[in-house]
Amino acid sequence: MAGENSSTKIFFGRLSSLKGMKMSVKLINPMNETLVRVSVPPARLRNLEGKTIGLLDISKTGGNLFLDRLEQLLREQFQVASVVRTMKPTFAKPAPQVVIEQLRGADAVIEALAD
């Protein structure tokens, strides 16, 4: 159930008086049962050398500070081939297709939430 620590096992017990009681034990599933296509993530990169790294700024305050420094480190210390920078028009909505397309082809993408 929501809010419970998954490592904690709570004993709810069983009501022995319910055994054999005549009440419906079938329920209509109220949960989401929509089938979704599962994508397999690509294999983890072994190193960053010669790779193209996408940096996605979700447009929150300070995101550029974090990504500027990250870009510098990627270029100076990890010899990446290129860095692709793009930004969501608003952090409050999923990235539009045009932003996703800009990141297509990158070997890995790092997203800055910031604040």
Partner 1 sequence: MIGISQDDDVATNEFRRQLATTFAVQRDPGFALSRAFDLSFVPSLFLLGRDGRVLRSHFGFDKSTLNEIAAQMGCTPVAEEFDGAPHSKPGCMSRHLEPRVDDESAPAPVIGSAHGVPASIVEIPDGEDPFEYCFQTFGDGLPVIPPTPERIAHMLNGASLERTEIIARVPPCYGEATVEKIAANAVMAGCVPDMMRVLLPLVRAVCDERLNIHGVQATTHFAAPLIIINGPIRNELRFAYRQNAFSNVARANSTLGRALQLILLNIGGARPDGIDMSTLGNPGKFSYCIAEHEEANPWEPFHVERGFNRQQSALTLFAAEAPHGISEHTARTPEQVLKSISYALATVWTYRLCLGSDALVVLSPEHALTIHRAGWSKQQAREFLFENTGVPLRAYEGAPDAEGSQMVTKFQEILIDGDRCYQKFRSPESIRIIVAGGTAGKFSAVIGGWVAGPRGSEMVTYPI
* Residue numbers at the binding site for partner 1 (CB under 8 A): 1-4, 12, 14-16, 18-20, 23-34, 36-37, 61, 89-90, 92-94, 97, 104
Scanning the structure block, which residue is given the tokens 């109220």? Answer: 30
How far is it, in rounded angstroms, from Cα 80 to Cα 51?
5
Cβ 96 vs Cβ 47: under 8 Å: no
Report in angstroms how near the CB of residue 47 gets to partner 1 at its nearest.
25
Report in angstroms how near the CB of residue 29 gets to partner 1 at its nearest.
5
Handedness of CA 68, 70, 74, 78 (dihedral sign): positive
Nearer to partner 1, 48 or 66 (CB): 66
Nearer to partner 1, 48 or 109 (CB): 109
Nearer to partner 1, 16 or 77 (CB): 16
Instruction: Tell me the backbone φ, ψ of residue 54, rounded to 5 degrees.
Output: -90, 135
> Across the chain, which distance is largest between two alpha carbons, in Å?
72
Nearer to partner 1, 18 or 47 (CB): 18
Report in angstroms how near the CB of residue 58 gets to partner 1 at its nearest.
11
